[in-house]
Structure 1
Amino acid sequence: MKTLLIPLLSLLALAAAAESRTFPVTAGNHRVTLTFGAADRATDTTVLAESRQLMLERVRTAPGEFLKRSVVINTRNPALEPPPRFAPGATAVLLNERETGINRWDDQLTLTLLGPAPAAVDVIITPAPDAATIYLLGDSTVTDQPRGDYASWGQMLPRFFDGSVAIANHAESGETMKSFLFENRLNKVLSTLRAGDTVIMQFGHNDQKRNWPQTYLEAHTTWPAYLRAYVAEIKHRGATPVLVTSMERRTFTDDGRIRSTHGDYPQNVRDVAAAEGVALVDLQAVSSTLYTALGPELAPLAFANAGKDATHHNAYGAYQLALAVAHGLRAAAVPVAEHLATDLPEFDPAHPVSPAAFDLPFTTADVAEAPRGN
């Protein structure tokens, strides 16, 4: 097992410039231990990993105070173990053009330190093969959005755990349950999934698109059949499946309520969860309550592209939905909920924190194009 000790000056330079730094690693889970602080000043550091996964939020130290914090970060590459001769299979995930060169599909671990006064004196990286893993499957509202003001609940979720589990976000923009299967993304997840791991799935935004006949799933037939097949594969490996209904789009009616655009798909997710005895997080219900509470004037402040995008979220909106998922896991008594952070913020979608009071260093200055499937 190889340990990487990163020198003091290199990490301080990274913090001062708020730039990303990559370290060569093998695919898998890695424990990353950072020592925050500075001898002559107070510090305030937020840590992002890979494609902007929120690992640690606003770690503060007083002058002369030093504080160690550890997290587990998952890295991977597209490769799959070649199948035996004459057996069906594939040797790699079929990545799309937007994933070329992206941090989450390389043999490196990427860290970014940022904030009003970021500083760390060292970082130690060690393999963590025994750490449990939470796998995320889904579309653009779940994937780690790499730039601009776009964000998803999947990339905010690591902040709400205690640093003892890894979150492997395999979601990707434009994905459906069919394409996730055909592009070997499910194979990639199953190739490393172990007993005791957790798989959280949220599809639906793209599956319902009749204009995509190659991946369309009909609400009452093929849609629940695919859900059950995914659940069966996960259970077969001793892991815990969790189903999540798709959050609503920001479409208000004249009386200030959210109009549902998902038809019967969310209800069929609920029905499959009940029939299969698996946990459910109802983001459709939570998001409708949240957007209604914010109202037509404030709700755009939860969405990307300065509110012009009515589907995808910014850091504020993604953070609120990640909180909803974390509290949903705890309410459902999913085993991995034992690893939720002790400082898990309270969450009430009917009385959300004001967007004006939300202050998380996250957004990049570059402009991001709309995700696939938008």
Structure 2
Amino acid sequence: MLENPKPDGHLPPPALERAIFGFMASHVLFAADDLGLLDRLAQGGTHEGPALASEVKTEPLALDRLLTALVSLQLLTREGDGYRMPDPVRPFLRRDSSLYCGGVFPLLKNFSTRTFQHLGEAMVDGAPQWKKVLPGEGAAPFDIMYQDAAALERFARAMWSLGYQAATELVDHLRLERGGHLVDLGGGSGSFAVAALQRWPALTAEVFDRPAMEPTVARTRSEYGLSTRLGFTGGDFFESTLPRADVYALGFILSDWTDLQSVRLLRSVHAALAPGGRVLILERLFNEQRTGPLPTALMDLCMLLETGGRHRSASQYHGLLRQAGFLPGPVHHSSYEKHMVVGIKD
């Protein structure tokens, strides 16, 4: 029998406790965002519970429980009878902030939490589990999403919130003073393309995505004043001929696909690039020891469950680039969870 290492050894270690209750914490966050509670508190100031309950139209005693949970999660502080959101947290939970991370919450709440219920089954068969949680006759997740305008808009917003801030750092490494043309492949609303165009005034760009994404890109073009510099081409990047370019950006694309599918796509990109052109693989990266980071490890399981893809280390992406005919280039890290692995067409 194992002996307790210390008098309170009957208590689970904090890491284990966080793992046990982590799904509850996520739903506290999702519910508070759905209610508009987080956005209200992120505006600043101290707010009393009854007033908050009236503003977000909730039962006061029930909301008090939710507020207590948010305090325990250190997302709020309690000051007398009021609640305040700490300043470092506010930009990430305020809906009108460029740092707002809640765009991804509906996807995690409505899809990922359901697929994770089948994680044990995925360990047995090594296959995606989305068919067990999505309606219809075997339609793939992306096919369903692109047929639903509201779902597509939520997805585009989520991808923007995950990618734009990292992109503003990573585009500094492109050195495109002389311009050229960039294709943001599967680029959604065009977060990387916009960041690159803002940084390099002589550059032009286009988003290549399924035709249903065109209205979203049109709104991006108008919002950022890029009417003559940001274009759109509709198509399927596995089936369509890709447009010619000097630079291709693949943001959170290859992690959706197997190694074989990724090499196939990279070969198509290689054929579309000008000599000396570059492909930019923009992804979460495992460290080379594959011990983390934790968000990458968890999202790697998400890829297994939802798409059949995977997250990789920089060296693994270099291996895929070599198979597709590229010379592996530098790896650039951002302050966020999206980094850049460069491939060069010799």
- Do the two structures share a fold, i.e. TM-score over 0.5? no
Structure whose residues are more often strand by fraction: 1
User: Larger relative CO (CA 8 A, sep 6+): 1 or 2?
Assistant: 1
Which of the pair has more CA radius of gyration?
Answer: 2
